[in-house]
Structure 1
Amino acid sequence: MTTTATTAHHLRHIALHWTDLHQALGDRPIHGAFGRGLRDYLRTLEQYDREEVAALRALERDPAQIGERPVPISLRVYETMRTVESALIELADQTAADVQRPAMARAPRHWPAPDRARRDALADTDATDPRRWRYTGRRTAPHAALWLCALVEGRPGPWRPLTDAHRARIGRVAAGALHRIETTLDTSAATATLTQRCTKCCGVIEIHGGAGTPPLARCTGCGHTWHTPEPAVA
């Protein structure tokens, strides 16, 4: 089972990486890095590259785009941000519906004025507590991630403690979201096995890379290695 510390780590890093995603949103894809180039080899993600190129070509052909045009965005990064944000906000909505305590009611009119004033002040403070998850207004991936992190870590707030089922669900979503973000940004190391065999000994070939480094293939049998060719200098 995912531990509290691991889930909190995932949620914090989702919030930290959100700025990186915004910066990468306007960048063109960098092919050849492990997180993107290797995915192209192993998961045939050139389909996404074709879709991105087609979308950019459509902008070029659109008469409405003559003159000043918006900077093309990376559809891959946009899809990651859209998917992760939707998942985290939905998770926060569901969790809040289960564990968040309703705001305190204001005092009945028949209460004595001093008591009613004190009760109404407490009710107003409770209703505007910034720790509350809200269904309107500030609904972003970083805010959802940090709000869920507060619940996972057991911080005080207008909510009941999470159940094991809540913790497991938050852990699964957080791990999946962070993995998708790190894969898109190419910030995590990974290893994959190719179906192609070594031509020298028919051994299994593994590819290692990540965090922006070019892929390195190595035969687990004879130890032969293959490197990504260096780009030609113009």
Structure 2
Amino acid sequence: MNLYKSTQAGLVILFILQAVVLIGCAQYEELTNDPPEITTFTIPNEVEYGETVEFRARVFDPEDDPLRYTWEVTDGVLKGEAGPHVQWTAPELPPEEIVPPKVVTVYLYVRDGGEEDVHKMATITVFSKPYKIAQIFTGTYTLIAKQVQGDPVAETSTLRLTPTTFTREIQSNPEAEVQAPTQFITGTYRFIKPFDESSGTIHWFPTGSTSPDVSTYTWDGRLFVVFYPETTTSLIYEK
């Protein structure tokens, strides 16, 4: 009986010693575990509304432990399983199209099983292409030449553009003895795809009109040439 009790007590002590050793090893491993390091963090600087891009990261872990990745964004949609690569779709373009850019913040957290994770963050500018191009065109332009069906027309005119609106100040036949009243035309305008900084199509919507005046345009950084095919009218403005 005493031998049985001694054996049982010995097993209990052995179990306790093994548990202490295991706990000690785990604590030692935790204390000596070096955290991972995010060596590269590839995030685009800017994207268009609704565009899908890929985020990439490269992480080094001294112990080569399994890593857990957590991506977070302040707007837009992440797609796929969290890992060193993940896809993200920027927020959709609002219906009005010509809207200012917005900033989205991207966070990456990486953990290797230790108590703390390492993280990185970056920001992306999400832009509307129509707004970006409209900002380039914003300013005041002076008419230097006008032609209708190839014939020159005497006219003094100023065109003022904001990212969303236009104002035309027109003085017809400025050489006439009796001057006609200055005409003001205001409204909104919209770029029609395909378009870029140098050429494209614009729909002009005078105030009160739902039907646009359609024109093409070219721009070389100084001269803004607008052509209305319906009336075969070309206007050359200088900024």
Q: Per chain length, whose mean CA-contact separation is higher, i.e. which structure has more relative contact order (CA < 8 Å, sep 6+)?
A: 1
Q: TM-score, normalised by structure 1?
A: 0.25
- Higher-helix-fraction structure: 1
Q: Which of these two proteins has the greater Rg computed from alpha carbons?
A: 2
